[in-house]
Amino acid sequence: MLTELKREAYEANLALPRHGLINLTFGNASALDRRRGIFAIKPSGVAYADLRPADLVLVDLEGRQVEGRLRPSSDTPTHRRLFLAFPQIAGVVHTHSTHATAFAQAGRAIPILGTTHADFFNGDIPVTRRLTRREISGDAYEWETGGVIVERFRRLDPLAFPGVLVNRHAPFTWGETVHQAVAVAVAVECVARLALLSLSLAPGLRPIEPALLRRHFRRKHGPGAYYGQAS
């Protein structure tokens, strides 16, 4: 089963450059086996072209490396903190995709302007506060990065808002599987680009009408969802 977990995380990581979400080695994906409390994550600094399933590192939810000859991603504590805080999820993705990262660097949420966005998020894609000097300078910087995400989600459902922009940094997304987290990462970059284009055409553009937001979000999510095929 853990070999399959590594394979799942490997395939998710390779999907990121294939979708144009990755430059160099900026980004990572992880997949969690919640029953065992172990997740597989990309090793730090390894080029995607060189990555092999055996290179994936296994880490438990206490932060101990349980398998792998390479060091895990430097973002591993952020992934771990999200897995601990959001029991509904089993996959996390981090990218520095261009348009979404532009919003993150500006400290701006991605406004919900159309139905493409509403298919994935039940509102604006949120942005965290900036990390404090103490949070940045300590030994637990990546853990603190997860902390500002968890703080931002005190009143938000992580499945209704399956991603966030870390202020001055970049997006993180998640899902009930790592492949869902990848799909959300693709969507976040898509709607960030659409938002920038839409606002350049209509600078005073208002958010989507609430009824249209509800219709598009609910047809894909929740007990009344009818998009796609029955399982």
- Is 119 designated active site? yes
What is the rounded distance in angstroms from the CA atom of residue 28 to the CA atom of residue 45? 10
DSSP 5-38: HHHHHHHHHHHHHHTT--STT-EEEEEEETTTTE
Annotated catalytic residue, options 119, 124, 139, 226: 119
Residue 227 catalytic? yes
Three-state SS for 142-198 is: HHHHHHHHHHHCCCCCCCCCCEEECCCCCEEEEECCHHHHHHHHHHHHHHHHHHHHH
Question: Which residues, 6 or more positions from 77, have their beta carbon under 8 angstroms from its beta carbon?
Answer: 63, 140, 142, 143, 145, 146
Q: Which residues are catalytic?
A: 119, 227
